Structure 1
Amino acid sequence: MHPNTEGILESSLYVTDLARSVSFYKKIFGFEVIGDFGERGCAMKAGKRHVLLLFKKGGSLNIVSPHDGDGELHLAFAIGADELTRWGAWLAENGITVEETQAWKLGGHSLYFRDPDRHLLEVATPGVWTIY
């Protein structure tokens, strides 16, 4: 039998302008920096037990590190059902376009939008998956 995990601890995004991305995630999500890797990147508290790592694209190439990536990635953030309308208004207030809204078969709802590096972000209410 396989050993257990307790879920995903870290997720990484690779960005072109670290300061711009940190500012975006602080302002839009309220995330705080909990680890500073200098020009290479940082760690942000993205929930009770989740860390969002922001790495400068190509910032790890001069050191021995497996951290680098490219392309537009996707992350979804859990929100309460009563927060969906507030999120829509908050994004509009901050000039962020909601690219898609989705009503899921299990009763959940999602809003999709982009960060400054065009990573596709989602805020999702319970009822998106059988486990959430």
Structure 2
Amino acid sequence: MTERTPPVLGTLESALYAGDLEAATAFWRDVMGLQPFQSVPGRHVFFRVAPSQVLLVFNPSATEQPPGPDARLPVPPHGARGPGHFCLAVAADRLDDWRRHLTARSIAIEADFRWPNGARSIYLRDPAGNSIELADPAIWG
């Protein structure tokens, strides 16, 4: 008998890593419009993306450390160095609005192009150097 893989509901959280959480907070809150809802200074700041979707931004220097033996939440150590990638879905007819919004805030647009299927993506960098994409969901449709 072959056991089937249990189903998943979707992506609940995604993580990026940044050494400067204050700069990350300012960027994700003030430029990208995401609201922080939880933070621990020097360790992490969490942002609500949608009702059941969260962006976690961790300081890898803090999260690479294993939890203490008496930790209330014994999350295993994790962390990454170097630029990661995070993509936000944006309605196709709002991508020009985003381009103007970013340009007005002196955020450099690294790339703005159409995929072979005609869907568009805009790429930029957050203060930690992570590659941030704003994309028409049709890139996968």
TM above 0.5:
yes
Q: CA RMSD in A?
A: 1.3
Do the aligned partners of 1:107 and 1:126 also contact (CA within 8 Å) in 2? no
Do the aligned partners of 2:65 and 2:77 also contact (CA within 8 Å) in 1? no
Equivalent residue runs for 1:108-127 within 5 Å: 108-127=119-138
Identity %, equivalent residues: 30
- From 40, 55, 59, the equivalent of 1:52 is 55
- From 85, 93, 97, the equivalent of 2:96 is 85
Report the counterpart of residue 82 of structure 2 in structure 1: 71
Report the counterpart of residue 13 of structure 2 in structure 1: 10
Do the aligned partners of 1:15 and 1:56 also contact (CA within 8 Å) in 2? yes
Q: CA deviation at 1:57?
A: 2.5
Q: Find the residue that maps to 1:35 and give its secondary structure.
A: strand
Report the counterpart of residue 22 of structure 1 in structure 2: 25
Structure 2 segments unaligned to the other structure (5+ residues): 68-75
Q: CA deviation at 1:62?
A: 4.1
User: Which contiguous aligned blocks of 4+ residues in structure 1 show a shift greater than 4 angstroms?
Assistant: none
Q: TM-score, normalised by structure 2?
A: 0.86
- Aligned equivalents of 1:13, 1:126: Cα separation in 2: 21
* Paired AA for residue 32 in structure 2: F
Instruction: Summarize deviations over 1:45-82 as a string: whole Å, max 9, x none.
Output: 01232111111121124442322211101111000011
- From 95, 98, 105, the equivalent of 2:116 is 105
Q: Larger C-alpha radius of gyration, 1 or 2?
A: 2
Q: TM-score, normalised by structure 1?
A: 0.91
